[in-house]
Amino acid sequence: MNGFSSEIFFKTARSGGSGGQNVNKVETQAEALWNVAESRFFTDEEKELIQEKLKNKINKDGFLAVKCSVTRSQLENKQIAQHKMEELVAKSLIKPKKRKPTKPSKAAKEKRLESKKKESLKKEMRRAPKDS
């Protein structure tokens, strides 16, 4: 996973929010960008999986973008953005296990039928008796 971090590049901008004069003059917000399609560290199949699962975070130019403006330090924001991106990519590569359909056990079937009989009998007792 460390290999693909060399393909990430950063853009910086001025952060909003609290920080006083620091916010007005220092570019502390960091945006990590990574071109998924041109990566040399993943197979075509893995790239497709990443693009499918992270399609909402990939822009029209094919770059996965993660922004961070949590701290007042540009370096820390870059590290946080890179870490978030690495986590996103790692999670997107996890394939969910196939669900195995199961059958109800014999005991479960019998319990269900027994409860149906009890419910039926209870409702039968509520009815007015039939005159023959």
Question: How would you classify residue 4: left for phi > 0, otherwise alpha for psi between -120 and 50, otherwise beta?
Answer: alpha
In a domain, 107, yes or no: no
* Residue 86 lies in domain: 2-92
In a domain, 73, yes or no: yes
Structure confidence at residue 19 (pLDDT): 64
Q: At what angle do helices 44-53 and 74-92 cross, to 10 degrees?
A: 110
Would you give per-residue pLDDT tens digits along the chain (132 residues)? 456 778 888 988 887 766 667 767 778 889 999 998 888 888 888 889 888 998 898 888 889 999 998 888 889 999 999 999 999 999 998 888 899 999 999 999 999 999 999 999 999 989 888 776
Structure confidence at residue 132 (pLDDT): 62
Structure confidence at residue 87 (pLDDT): 93
In a domain, 105, yes or no: no
Structure confidence at residue 96 (pLDDT): 83
Structure confidence at residue 18 (pLDDT): 67
Q: How many domains does the chain have?
A: 1
Question: CATH number of the domain that 86 lies in?
Answer: 3.30.160.20
Strand stretches in 5-106, DSSP E: 9-13, 29-35, 63-68
Structure confidence at residue 123 (pLDDT): 93
Structure confidence at residue 76 (pLDDT): 93
In a domain, 31, yes or no: yes
In a domain, 38, yes or no: yes
